[in-house]
Amino acid sequence: MHYQTISGLAPRIEAGDISPVELTRSQLDRIAALDGNLKSYATVTAELAIRQAEIAEREIAEGNYRGKLHGIPIAVKDLCNTAGIRTMGGSAVFTDNIPDHDATVVTKLREAGAVLLGKLNMTEGAMGGYNPRFQVPENPWRPSHWAGASSSGSGAATAAGLAYATLGSDTGGSIRHPAAACGTVGFKPTWGCVSRFGVMNLAESLDHVGPLTRSAADAGIVLQAISGFDPNDLTTLPHEVPDMLSEIGNGVKSLRIGWDEEYATSGIESSFANAIVAGVEVMASLGAEIVPVRMPEIMREAMAAWPVICSSEAATAHAATFPSRSGEYGPFFREWLANGSNHSAVDYAAAHRLRLLMNGGLRSTMRDIDILASPSTPKTSYPVSREVLYGSIPTDRDPWDSRFTVPFDFSGLPTISLPCGLDETGMPVSLQFAGHHLSEPQLVGAAVAFEQATEFHDLHPPV
């Protein structure tokens, strides 16, 4: 039951065949049994979850079914405000932070009838390193392996069957990275599609909030619920939220998929690259047209702009607590904030110019295609030590490693990441589809077509 999908559970819950209360208790029991090792949860809200499940069960029995998330146990990254429940953002600075209001995404999930199991562990400030006072989530596929950085708790919980869906955030890849490392679906929406009100900022012009799930349709269901204009976040788009599932079943025969083989496979381990190529070939076998394209030449230079923009905006976001409480931050994020504080306005402007040029080049690349295919990450999950995860920024950190994620944070284009096999070491490989702004229904339709032609989404870690 713990590896079922929302799509499969929802009609059974609506029909009364499955009790939301029993479903929630089974998830809480599984969390109690397994999460001591996996460490995906920062806070488990067991009493709240049972109370919400009881309400959902009563409403459904009375014929007041709210939709596919009604009675479904989910969890959110611990940077989404939850009224009366601590929200720490992975930082000791915010250990005692108890918001008096919910983030809009939490409100929307509650209004959809979802059951909140708890808050999920993450890197400090949603960047790359962990605060030494916090636990590091384990990759459920293999201990002491990278679980995807910022939204690592979200990836681990989803993959291990400790929630039917989770929310993550993505500033440079942190929905895609944990989805890829842990073998789940990750859906980064169009920037502005989902409100960020009540979500702790890393870099406001880059931050996205989106779901991690065990199927593409489930990702569409969750994104449907959390999307829409929010007067509390004027960066949200005023457009009507589309039906995220409307393209399912339409096939891909009219789809033009862009493919830059050198970009997608160069410098990548061979079994990983072969799985990505095979994934694109699956789409071709379903009737999609694979169109050769070239990624912008400025990409390599533009990747170096991301640390400048992100760290500068992070320093602004943490101005109330840094440097005044710098000793409470962990080594990585403390150094990141110091870097951001030291960048000049000229530095930021130069980086922003590179971002704009990158976005223009990407528009040209995608002008005559519907979807761009690539890996979600440059490598599969790899061994990591606590010393590295709790330490300072690695000196060998290479901006080019973010070439599959950062361009779509720069541009705000939507992406969906899908399991597409295992590498030679038995770790998950992830295929990414990127679309045009507000093309989320098309991405869901293409992703579901891929899943129906393969069985990779049915692979689960040996938990």
Distance separating alpha carbons of residues 147 and 128, to the nearest angstrom: 11
Other C-beta atoms within 10 Å of 34: how many?
18
Please compute the mean of the pLDDT values over residues 402-429 and round it to a whole number. Answer: 98
Distance separating alpha carbons of residues 383 and 366, to the nearest angstrom: 35
Ramachandran sector of residue 142 (left: φ over 0; alpha: ψ -120 to 50; beta: rest): beta
Q: The whole model's pTM is what?
A: 0.98
Which of 152, 174, 311, 417 is labelled catalytic?
174
Please compute the mean of the pLDDT values over residues 211-236 and round it to a whole number. Answer: 98
In the sheet that holds 185-188, the strands lie side by side as 41-44, 115-120, 73-77, 166-170, 208-213, 185-188, 415-422, 428-435, 371-375, 256-259, 289-292
Backbone angles phi, psi at 258, to 5 degrees: -75, 140
pLDDT of residue 397: 86
Please compute the mean of the pLDDT values over residues 392-397 and round it to a whole number. Answer: 91
**Whether pLDDT at 111 is above 90:** yes
150 is catalytic: yes
Other C-beta atoms within 10 Å of 233: how many?
16
pLDDT of residue 228: 98
Are 73 and 53 a contacting pair, CB within 8 Å? yes
C-alpha distances out from residue 161 to 2, 19, 38, 56, 422, Å: 5, 18, 11, 21, 19
pLDDT of residue 17: 98
Distance separating alpha carbons of residues 166 and 313, to the nearest angstrom: 26
Return the percentage of the chain with pLDDT > 90, whole number: 99
Triad 66, 67, 72: Cα angle to 5°: 100
H or E stretch at 420: strand 415-422
* CATH number, domain 6-458: 3.90.1300.10
Please compute the mean of the pLDDT values over residues 275-301 and round it to a whole number. Answer: 98
Place of tokens 């090792």: 37
Please compute the mean of the pLDDT values over residues 229-251 and round it to a whole number. Answer: 97
Which of 7, 68, 77, 374 is labelled catalytic?
77
Cβ burial 136-164 (10 Å sphere, 16+ → b, else e) = bbbbbbbeebbbbbbbbbbbbbbbbbbbb
C-alpha distances out from residue 319 to 157, 207, 345, 426, Å: 32, 18, 16, 43
Cβ burial 433-442 (10 Å sphere, 16+ → b, else e) = bbbbbbbbbb
C-alpha distances out from residue 266 to 58, 138, 274, 378, Å: 55, 29, 11, 9
By C-alpha distance, which of 93, 88, 97, 95 is closest to 122? 88
Extents of the domains making up the chain: 6-458
pLDDT of residue 396: 86
pLDDT of residue 196: 98
* 357-383: pLDDT as tens digits: 999 999 999 999 999 999 999 999 999
Residues with Cβ within 8 Å of 281's Cβ and at least 6 positions away in sequence, in order, are none
Which of 7, 40, 91, 150 is labelled catalytic?
150
Distance separating alpha carbons of residues 420 and 454, to the nearest angstrom: 8
Distance separating alpha carbons of residues 192 and 237, to the nearest angstrom: 5
Concatenated DSSP letters of 37-76: HH--EEEE-HHHHHHHHHHHHHHHHTT----TTTT-EEEE
Give the confidence band of 330 by pLDDT, cuts at 50, 70, 90.
very high
What mean pLDDT, rounded, does the chain reach?
97
* 435-453: pLDDT as tens digits: 999 999 999 999 999 999 9
Q: Which two tokens stand for residue 176?
A: 């895609």
